[in-house]
Copies of this chain bind each other. A is one copy, B any other.
Amino acid sequence: MSATPIAATEAEIAAVAWNADGLVPVITQEVGTGRVLMLAWMNEDALRATLAEGRMVYWSRSRQELWRKGDTSGDRQWVRSGAYDCDVDALLFQVEQEGNGACHTGEVSCFFRPFGGGAVPGRV
């Protein structure tokens, strides 16, 4: 799959309403299927890297470092489009998901347990 950088303007990046930690929540959706793959976070460096490299780069809150999704797993996410919401405090990216899927559990989407579904709750 190919990287497609997005030529965002400086004004667009400057408009993002980062939270108190300097982060913004990001929804990642699979092109074609429309499946919501995951929700993660970006700081400004991660957003700039994502737009410039054409692949999803998040900020890992647990590791406190840039997280180039798929560098370890191979499950990279190739950006096809990105958008910001009316409050500019949430982002939506549409991607082609490479490899096995977005989730570290092996599921395609991180949202694989429905409420009322009888799964064992808790972090997996």
- Chain A, interface size category, equals 35 or more
Chain A residues 75 to 114 lying within 8 A of chain B, measured CB to CB, are 81-88, 90, 92, 103-105, 107, 110-114
**Contact yes or no, A36 B39, CB < 8 A:** no
The main secondary structure of chain A at its interface with chain B is loop
For A124, give the chain B residue with the smallest CB separation.
B86
Indicate if A63 sits at the interface (CB-CB under 8 A): no
For A50, give the chain B residue with the smallest CB separation.
B115
Which residue numbers of A lie inside 8 Å of B, CB to CB? 6-9, 11-12, 14-15, 17, 25, 27, 29, 33-36, 38-39, 51, 81-88, 90, 92, 103-105, 107, 110-124
Besides the known contacts A25-B39, A36-B92, 8 further A-B residue pairs in the complex with CB atoms under 8 A apart? A9-B116, A11-B121, A15-B121, A33-B34, A81-B115, A82-B115, A84-B113, A84-B115
* A-B pairs, 3 with minimum CB distance: A34-B34, A15-B121, A39-B90
